[in-house]
Amino acid sequence: MSLAGEDTALLPEADAYEQRAFGFWLYLMSDAIIFALLFATYLVMAGNTAGGPAGSDLFSLPHTLGETLLLLTSSLTFGLASVAMDAGRRPQLLAWLAVTFVLGLGFVAMEIREFHGMIIQGAGPDRSGFLSAFFTLVGTHGLHVSAGLVFILVMITQVIAKELSQPVSSRLLRLGLFWHFLDIVWIGIFSAVYLPGIL
């Protein structure tokens, strides 16, 4: 009898976590629609250089591969953080989250450097339809990664302050979904923007 009562008492909290997870999936789907529209816009505008530089003049394959390596490795380290969380190993979780943060920060720094270099060359977003679409798509992804970095810092603070409570673990799972989603979007950007522009 007491067990049934305990299950009933836990139900509202379990439902709350399920609702938050569902809400986060809805957010990711809306984000996917936004990125799909940005991809479609870029593909339409990719040839509209207005006599300005094209991707082959601006993109550097080694630089882009470096960005890709950083972001994909950060996905691996976040996976290791999730394994540590499941095992209840807080020090390892914090360490892998810190490594993920550093890798993500390196990615953002490389992207800012790329944008800065392009603008100095006179290839800013106002130069052509191609560059406007490029900066919008890649910049939106970069802003998402930056938001993810803030989210990682918040979660590191919460893991230190509240340990691995159920609310903290639930937030970490949602952060993992967000971070891996950004990796998938970047693979799309690498395949649809950089590779055709370089090759």
- Tokens 């930056």 belong to residue: 146
For residue range 116-132, what is the model confidence (pLDDT) as tens digits? 999 999 999 999 999 99
> What pLDDT is attached to residue 14?
60
Query: What domains are there in the chain, each with its CATH number?
Result: 2-198 (1.20.120.80)
Q: Is the pLDDT of residue 10 over 80?
A: no
> What pLDDT is attached to residue 5?
44
As a whole number of angstroms, the distance between CA 142 and CA 105 comes to: 10
Question: What pTM was computed for the model?
Answer: 0.88
pLDDT mean over 1-20: 55
Q: For a pLDDT cut of 70, what percent of the chain falls above it? A: 91
Q: Is the pLDDT of residue 189 over 80?
A: yes
Residue 191 near residue 52 (C-beta atoms within 8 A) = no
Q: Is the pLDDT of residue 107 over 90?
A: yes
As a whole number of angstroms, the distance between CA 183 and CA 187 comes to: 6
Residue 110 near residue 138 (C-beta atoms within 8 A) = no
As a whole number of angstroms, the distance between CA 198 and CA 188 comes to: 15
Cβ-based neighbours of 24, under 8 Å, separated by 6 or more:
174, 177, 178
As a whole number of angstroms, the distance between CA 34 and CA 140 comes to: 10
> What pLDDT is attached to residue 167?
86
* pLDDT interval class at 51 (50, 70, 90): confident
Assign 3-class secondary structure to 147-189. Answer: HHHHHHHHHHHHHHHHCCCHHHHHHHHHHHHHHHHHHHHHHHH
Q: Cα 103–181–156 angle (5° rounding)?
A: 50
Q: Is the pLDDT of residue 183 over 80?
A: yes
- Tokens 């936004």 belong to residue: 34
Q: Could you tell me the two tokens for 38?
A: 């940005």
For residue range 70-102, what is the model confidence (pLDDT) as tens digits? 999 999 999 999 999 999 999 999 999 999 999
